Structures are given as structure tokens and as C-alpha cells.
Amino acid sequence: MTPEAHAHLSQVDPVFRRLIESVGLCPLKPDRRRSPFEALVRAVAHQQLNGTAAETILGRFLALFPAGRFPEPDEVLAVPDEAIRAAGFSRAKLAAIRDIATKAAAGIVPHRRDLAKLPDEEIVVRLTECRGVGRWTVEMFLMFTLGRQDVLPVDDFGVRNGFRLAYGLAEMPSAKELMAAGESWRPHRTTASWYLWRAVDLAKEAAQKAKPEKVRKSAPKEPLAKKTGVKKTPPKKPAPLKRAKAGSKRPGGASK
């Protein structure tokens, strides 16, 4: 992000001044190489999955197309459902990808050059018409693909939790409360969001450092004899029983 963003946040809010001093400058740079269509399909692939699993599925998906490149919308529409499902997409995600491809081919999902002319909220309205694409997904797209500088995803759990931790609140703020607090961060709320995510990381690091070291398991104790140098006296063997003489009595008074 820009030096102006750091200067503005430091000036209007001492909490951000401390965060910037602790974390350093925000290195966030958008990935402008991806088309809106590609960014949305990738976002759907990552929904409810960890990054490794999502990238594995995307790799199989890309293998369906020439040279493993990301396909155009009409190329996706030409591939049978079974082939896309075999890559690892659920039926719901398959339906979402089909819908995004259909709307991209129809121009409802615009090209990047057309999106550049639209305000953030209009982009949200346009792209959330696609199946499987909600407001949060579009906000991430605005931040990380288009590089819009004044996005505050108030429904993002990490941003809300970061606000709670940074400001020392007992409870999580509501979306409305976070939106109101963020008014002073304009027009650099994307950078502010990034620092709130980092506030969560700082809290995790502090908690990790505060954990006491695990008590090491004690080694098995050495035998007393070895420890003290005293040799154990082996137990005496019992004396052999003497054969009873003829006529002697057994226990109980019976004669042999």
C-alpha cells in the first residue's frame, strides 16, 4: 500500500500507530495478472478448503485445458460436467463455476478494463449475481486483485477479531460498530483491514511465547545399589529339608 495510507492511519488512530510500529509497513500488492473470471473461479475453489487441497483441485482442473493455462469462459462451458467433477469439485462448486462462466461469457462479469471504471459497490452488486459469490468474496477480489484501497470487509471474522484484540475489547464488535469505527480510516480502509489481520497474528505469537515450557519426563531412577555404590546382598537360599526319620510324625500327628 502507499506511504499516505500509513501516515493517515498513524495520525488518526494511536492503535494503528502502534500496530504499524510493531508489524512494519504493509506490503500488500494486488495480483493484477488474473482476470475477474479467473479470480472468482479460484475463490470458489478455495471456499471451505485449506489452501493445499484447493490448489490440488485447481491443478487437476487446469490439466483439462491446453498447456495447463487458465481457460476462457467458453472453454469451461465446453467441458463435460463429469470431467470437472473428476477434478475434485463438489456439485455445488461445479454449478457455481458453470454460472460464473456463463455470466462472464455474457458480459455480466466484466473484463478488468471495464471494472476499472466502476465504483466498488457497483462491482459488488454485479458480481454477487453469480452463484456461489457473496459480498465477502467480492471484497477479497477488490482488495487482492483490483487493488482497491478503501475496502473494509466488516463481516470478515479475522478483521473483527483483530479489532477486538487491538482495542482491548471484551466482546467481538458487530459489523455496524466496525463500520462506524472505520469511518476515520477512509480512504485507506484496505490497509487498515490488513493491519487488523496482523493484530490477530501478533496475539497468537504473544500467546505462544507465554506458554510455559513442557515439563520434561524424568529419566527412570537408577537402582539404589548403583546410585549409592552399596551392593545388594543376594537372598540366602533356603536350607534343604531334612528327610524325616522312620516313625517320626508328620504335621497333624500322623505317623509315616
- Report the alpha-carbon distance of residue 38 to residue 59 in Å, rounded: 13
Same domain as 163, residue 82? no
Q: Supply the range of the domain harboring residue 184.
A: 3-29+151-209
Q: How confident is the model at residue 3 (pLDDT cuts 50, 70, 90)?
A: confident
Domain boundary among the residues 99, 123, 144 is at: 144
**If we measure between CA atoms, which residue out of 110, 92, 88, 116 comes closest to residue 39?**
110
Judge if 70 and 137 occupy the same domain. Answer: yes
Is there a single domain that holds both residue 47 and residue 131? yes
Question: What counts of helices (H) and strands (E) characterise the chain?
Answer: 14, 0
C-alpha cell at 184: 476515520
112 located within any domain: yes
Asked whether residue 57 falls in the same domain as residue 156, the answer is: no
Q: Which of 105, 126, 144 is the last residue of a domain?
A: 144
Residue 124 lies in a domain: yes
Residues 117 and 202 in one domain: no
Same domain membership, residue 113 and residue 157: no
- As a whole number of Å, the CA-based R_g of the chain is 35
Task: Please write the tens of the pLDDT for every residue from 173-207.
Answer: 999 999 999 999 999 999 999 999 999 999 999 88
- 89 and 118: one domain? yes
pLDDT, tens only, 35-94: 999 999 999 999 988 889 999 999 999 999 988 789 999 999 999 999 999 999 999 999
CATH number of the domain residue 18 falls in: 1.10.1670.40
Q: Place 231 in a pLDDT band, splitting at 50, 70 and 90.
A: low
Q: Which residues are known catalytic residues?
A: 156
Tell me whether residue 219 is in a domain: no
> What's the confidence (pLDDT) of residue 212?
67
Q: Is there a single domain that holds both residue 70 and residue 122?
A: yes
Same domain, 41 and 139: yes
Higher pLDDT, 119 or 255: 119
* pLDDT of residue 218 exceeding 80: no
